C-alpha cells in the first residue's frame, strides 16, 4: 500500500473541460469554465490563482462535495464524474485537508488519525491505532498521541491532519490552503515535513495556495488559474530537482520562476480585483 514514490502507479488525475455554475439569486455564475488539467501519478501540482477564482470549486468537484455542470474528472482511468454521473462519490481515495483544519476536537490525536481505517472496517481498532502510532512517529508527532487537538499548536494539528489523510492510503491528497493560518516559521517547517512525507509515500498532491514561495518550493508544476471563471492560464514546470530543501529559496532559478509566475498571477489578480470580487465569494 505504501508504495515508494518511483513505483507509485495510482493517483493520475485528469480534469477534462470541467464546468461549474453557481446560482446567485437570478443569475448564474460561471465559476469554472472548460478547465482541463492532467496531473500524472505522484506529482505535486500546485494551484495558484486570484481569491475566489473557483479553485476550491474544482477541488470540491474532485472530492465529490459537489457536482459538475459539464466536463468530467477521471482518476487512474475511471471517471469520477462526467456525463451521466454529475457528482463524484465521496471516498477515501481522495482526502481533503482544509484551510482551517477539520480534526475532530473530541477525539485525541491518535483517535483522529485512526478514524478512517476503523470506520471503513479495513483495520481493527487495535491495528489502526498501531499503524497510526507508527505514522505519527514518522511525522514527528510522537508524544502527542493522547493529547486532544486543542492542546497542540496549529502547526502540529495540521501535521496530524495530513497523517490522518495518509492513513487512508489515498490516491490523491487534496490540500486547500492547509498552511494559510500558520506563521512563516511554522510554515517552512511544515513544508519540509510535507516533502519528507511525500518522498516516503509518493502520493499525488493537488495543492491550492496563495503563497507563491510555497507553490514553487513544493511543486513539480505550478498552475496559474485565470480570474473567474477558473481555468489554467499557464503552467510552469518547476525544474528544481527533488529532494529540495530551503536552500533553493535563495537560488537564482527560484527567484526567476517567482518573478515570472507572479507576473502572470498579478495580471489575473488585477482582473478579479477590478471586478470587485469578494474573497471566497464562490465557495
Partner 1 sequence: MTAEIAATATDPRTFRQSLSRRPPSLLANPSTRRACIAVLAALMFWQLGATSDAWLGLRPPIIGHIPSPVAVLEAWRLLLGDPGYWESWYLSFTRVLMGFAAATAIGVPFGLLLAVSRSFRGVAFPVFELLRPIPPLAWVPASIIFWPTQELSIDFVIFLGAFYTIVLNVLGGAREIDPRLLQVARSMGASRWNIFRRLILPGVLPSICVGMEVAIGITWEVVVAAEMISGGGSGGAASSGGGLGFFIWNSYIGGSYPDIIVGMISIGIAGYLSSAFVRRAGARLTPWLAIR
Catalog residues that contact partner 1 under the rule CB under 8 A.
63-65, 90-92, 94-96, 98, 100, 102, 104-107, 115-116, 119-120, 144, 147-148, 150-155, 164, 168, 181, 183, 186
Q: In this structure, how many other beta carbons lie within 10 angstroms of the beta carbon of residue 194?
A: 24
Of 106 and 246, CB closest to partner 1? 106
Shortest distance, position 153 Cβ to partner 1, whole Å:
4
Do residues 225 and 47 touch, judged by C-beta distance below 8 A? yes
Which phi and psi angles does 135 have, rounded to 5°? -65, -35
How far is Cα 238 from Cα 244, in angstroms, rounded to an integer?
A: 11
Q: Minimum Å distance from CB 150 to partner 1?
A: 5
Q: How far is the CB of 29 from partner 1 (least distance, A)?
A: 21
Min dist. Cβ of residue 91 to partner 1 (A): 7
Q: Which is nearer to partner 1, 10 or 102 (CB)?
A: 102
Within 10 Å of residue 174's Cβ, how many Cβ atoms?
A: 25
Cβ count within 10 A of residue 242? 12
CB of 146 to partner 1, least distance (A): 11
Closest to partner 1 by CB, 2 or 120: 120
- Three-state DSSP at 35 gives strand
Tell me whether residue 59 or residue 230 sits nearer to partner 1 (CB atom): 59
Please say which residue, 36 or 153, places its beta carbon nearer to partner 1. Answer: 153
Q: Are 88 and 80 in contact (CB under 8 A)?
A: yes
Minimum distance of partner 1 from residue 221's CB (angstroms) = 25
Q: Give the integer Cα–Cα distance in Å for 238 and 208.
A: 16
> Which of 11/219 has CB closer to partner 1?
11
Residue 169's CB: how many other CB atoms inside 10 A?
A: 18
Question: How many Å apart are CA 10 and CA 172, to the nearest integer?
Answer: 8
Q: For the purposes of burial, counting CB atoms within 10 Å of the CB of 259, is it exposed (0-12), middle (13-18) or buried (19 or more)?
A: exposed
CB 271 to partner 1: min, Å:
29
* Of residues 68 and 95, the one with the C-beta less far from partner 1: 95
Tell me the CA distances in angstroms from 127 to 90, 263, 277, one per residue in order: 24, 50, 48
Amino acid at each position: 500500500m505504501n508504495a515508494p514514490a518511483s513505483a507509485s502507479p495510482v493517483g493520475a488525475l485528469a480534469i477534462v473541460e470541467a464546468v461549474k455554475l453557481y446560482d446567485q439569486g437570478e443569475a448564474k455564475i460561471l465559476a469554472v469554465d472548460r478547465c482541463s488539467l492532467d496531473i500524472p501519478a505522484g506529482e505535486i501540482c500546485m494551484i495558484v490563482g486570484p481569491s475566489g477564482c473557483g479553485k476550491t470549486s474544482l477541488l470540491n468537484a474532485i472530492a465529490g462535495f459537489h457536482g459538475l455542470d459539464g466536463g468530467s474528472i477521471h482518476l487512474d482511468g475511471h471517471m469520477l464524474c462526467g456525463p451521466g454521473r454529475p457528482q463524484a462519490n465521496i471516498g477515501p481515495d481522495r482526502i481533503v485537508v482544509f484551510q482551517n483544519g477539520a480534526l475532530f476536537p473530541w477525539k485525541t490525536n491518535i483517535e483522529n488519525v485512526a478514524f478512517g481505517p476503523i470506520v471503513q472496517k479495513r483495520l481493527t481498532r487495535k491495528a489502526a491505532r498501531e499503524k497510526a502510532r507508527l505514522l505519527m512517529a514518522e511525522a514527528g508527532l510522537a508524544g502527542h498521541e493522547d493529547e486532544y487537538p486543542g492542546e497542540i499548536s496549529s502547526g502540529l494539528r495540521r501535521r496530524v491532519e495530513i497523517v490522518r489523510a495518509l492513513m487512508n492510503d489515498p490516491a490523491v491528497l487534496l490540500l486547500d490552503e492547509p498552511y494559510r493560518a500558520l506563521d512563516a516559521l511554522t510554515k517552512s517547517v511544515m513544508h519540509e515535513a510535507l516533502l519528507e512525507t511525500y518522498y516516503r509515500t509518493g502520493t499525488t498532491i493537488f495543492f491550492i495556495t496563495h503563497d507563491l514561495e510555497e507553490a514553487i518550493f513544493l511543486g513539480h508544476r505550478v498552475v496559474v488559474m485565470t480570474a473567474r471563471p477558473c481555468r489554467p492560464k499557464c503552467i510552469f514546470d518547476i525544474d528544481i530537482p527533488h529532494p529540495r530543501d530551503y536552500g533553493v529559496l535563495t537560488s537564482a532559478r527560484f527567484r526567476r520562476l517567482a518573478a515570472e509566475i507572479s507576473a502572470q498571477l498579478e495580471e489575473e489578480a488585477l482582473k478579479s480585483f477590478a471586478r470587485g470580487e469578494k474573497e471566497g465569494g464562490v465557495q
